[in-house]
Amino acid sequence: MSSATPLQSSIHASPRHVLRSATAAEHARVEGITGPLTSRQAYVRYLMGSYSFRVPIERALGEGALGWPRCLDGWRPTLIAEQLQADLRDLALEGASPAPPFDLKNWNPIGVLYVLEGSSLGARLLERQVRHLGFDATFGARHLARQRESSWADFVTCLDRCSPEEFEGAAVSARATFDLVASSMSSASNALVG
């Protein structure tokens, strides 16, 4: 066990709320780019953008490129790249390409994972939106259904036991992750317009 003081006891806001405040503007920006998923075109954009940033990050996680803080021991993220690929196939969009690999060596995994796992909260709303477009757990929206399996509450519990050392830089990495999300969503938008 680490002898470091858990982060929760050293600050007033919980680590989750620190990350939420630190990334509120970035989240709003992403939502502004994608808009509500009430048309097939909006959903295609979301799907292509998600695939683009998820593949290199999930690959880096699988290769251990991000390291793994002790406070996250026993918890694992809900990976969805495979289901995203299947959704793209359902929509005959096999041509979508992932973003090039990122160098995540100096990123704090807590910040990156906060963004990936937190997206499962909004996914419930998005799942309801795209059901009206004919997409569900068996066709076109497999990744959103998979996100329902996310262990978000467990992740938040893990955050509460992170030490200040483990948490250092998490907010910066969470914002940087949102920047990747935003640029992937924008590129997908441009690809559809162009």
Q: Which residues contact 86 (CB under 8 A, 6 or more apart)?
A: 142, 143
Report the candidate in 48, 49, 36 with the shortest Cα–Cα distance to residue 130. 36
Is 109 a residue that touches ligand HEM (CB under 6 A)? no
Decide whether 69 or 110 has the Cβ nearer to ligand HEM.
110
Helices (H), the chain: 7-10, 15-34, 40-62, 81-90, 109-131, 142-147, 152-160, 164-167, 170-193
Binds ligand HEM (CB under 6 A): choice among 7, 15, 18, 30: 30
User: Does 20 participate in binding ligand HEM (rule CB under 6 A)?
Assistant: yes
Q: Which is nearer to ligand HEM, 3 or 149 (CB)?
A: 149
Q: Which of 168, 148, 180 is nearest to 11 (CA)?
A: 168
| Binding track, positions 34-73, relative to ligand HEM; x by CB under 6 A | x---------------------------------------
By beta-carbon proximity to ligand HEM, the closer residue of 34 and 52 is 34
Q: Which amino acid is at 6?
A: P
31 is a site residue for ligand HEM (CB under 6 A): yes
| Residue 83 structure tokens | 């289901």
Report the residue from 4, 6, 16, 183 that binds ligand HEM according to the rule CB under 6 A: 16
Nearest-CB residue for ligand HEM:
118
Q: How far is the CB of 60 from ligand HEM (least distance, A)?
A: 15
**Cβ distance to ligand HEM smaller for residue 80 or 166:** 80
Closer to ligand HEM by CB, 2 or 101: give it: 101
CA distance 26 to 11: 23
Phi, psi of 136 (to 5 degrees): -150, -165
